[in-house]
Structure 1
Amino acid sequence: MQNKTVDARGMACPLPVVNAKKASEEMTEGGVLTVLVDNEIAVQNLTKFAASRGFQSSAEKKGEKDFAVTFQIPEKDAQTAVSQPTASSEPTCAPDSKKHGLVAVLSANTMGNGEEQLGKILMKSFIFALTKQDHLPETILCYNSGAYLTCEGSDSLEDLKSLEAEGVKILTCGTCLDFYGLKEKLAVGGVTNMYEIVEIMENAGTIVRP
């Protein structure tokens, strides 16, 4: 068992998660990994990363811009045992678990180039049309000005909430929310980071961009 501390203060997304991932993989004997960050978005991203890896985690706020996220890292053999099926497991015909199915990427709060007002009308129509499809997207990713779509005041909130109620995972870039001052106005879905955005897009069956 070993203890390790990663100082990720001042690092932009997704570096805190990337460095935490690298450090956790190096801790083959297990132990306690502590990651120091300076903002709540990074805390949320690290907590989500821990959950995705099956690590127990906790977060402590030490100051206004001083947070510590702690992971309990199991031994490497234990991690492998958790992730791999036992020899007696019956084979199944499930689809590839790495695939994220249909992913809709909303990188702006307007659709197309030209008049901004028209672009907003088109985007609203696009999201409404998504709710009427026979096959709904598995995930919707919102980043850059697309972050406005999931926040208070968005004309598409009801449609997005309807999609979420149907099981669609809606994720908005935390760095983008912070940049536009929308962190406290998120009204649907959860917060994500660039590491997860790349991972989802890389493993998507199909990507739709308006």
Structure 2
Amino acid sequence: MKNKVILVSSDQLGAGDKELGETILETFFTLLKQREEKPVAIFCMNRGVLTMTDESLISVHLRELADQGVPVLACKTCVEYYKIQDQLTSGELSSMNKFIELASKYDILTIS
């Protein structure tokens, strides 16, 4: 995960069954936070910002990754679109400019 930014663009992993996709995404973040090598940052956009609320089990893992020093960033436009500004329980608001800056320096691993 060294030198990688994880782009989370959905609240589930894969396009199949929603419940299965949520479970797989939770497993991904459970295993990620246990690794010694962490990503440079996690950037959530589109439905990925929904993982940063208590409605998602993934928010617990994102908080733990943030506590371990990994910046967890939310696309401000997406947060405003879904009207969840007051529901974010992990991470912080960010901008597309920040994502472009990260993408110019690091490899992007897209989770969708």
Task: Check if 1:192 corresponds to 2:94.
Answer: yes
- Aligned residue among 69, 79, 88 for 1:167: 69
Counterpart code for 2:18: E
Task: Check if 1:115 corresponds to 2:20.
Answer: no
Query: Deviation digits for residues 16-49 of structure 1, max 9, x if unmatched?
Result: xxxxxxxxxxxxxxxxxxxxxxxxxxxxxxxxxx
Task: Check if 1:157 corresponds to 2:82.
Answer: no
Q: What does residue 131 of structure 1 align with?
A: 33
Q: Which runs of 4+ in 1 moved over 6 A?
A: none
Q: What does residue 201 of structure 1 align with?
A: 103
Q: Is the 8 A contact 1:104 1:209 kept in 2?
A: yes
Aligned equivalents of 1:183, 1:152: Cα separation in 2: 12
- Aligned residue among 124, 144, 147 for 2:46: 144
Report the secondary structure of 1:198's partner residue: helix
Q: Which has the larger radius of gyration?
A: 1
- Aligned identity (percent) is 25
Counterpart code for 2:32: L
Aligned equivalents of 1:138, 1:166: Cα separation in 2: 11
Aligned equivalents of 1:142, 1:201: Cα separation in 2: 13
Aligned equivalents of 2:6, 2:89: Cα separation in 1: 18
Q: What does residue 103 of structure 1 align with?
A: 5
Query: Deviation digits for residues 181-201 of structure 1, max 9, x if unmatched?
Result: 101111111101111111111
TM-score (norm 2): 0.90
Aligned length: 110
TM-score (norm 1): 0.50
- Aligned residue among 178, 198, 201 for 2:80: 178
Structure 1 residue 209: Cα displacement: 2.2
Report the secondary structure of 1:184's partner residue: helix
Root-mean-square deviation (Å)? 1.4
Structure 1 residue 207: Cα displacement: 2.2
Name stretches of at least 5 consecutive residues in structure 2 with no aligned partner.
none
Alignment of 1:3-82 (within 5 A): none
Greater relative CO, 1 or 2 (CA 8 Å, sep 6+):
2
Q: Is the 8 A contact 1:105 1:207 kept in 2?
A: yes
Query: Deviation digits for residues 46-69 of structure 1, max 9, x if unmatched?
Result: xxxxxxxxxxxxxxxxxxxxxxxx
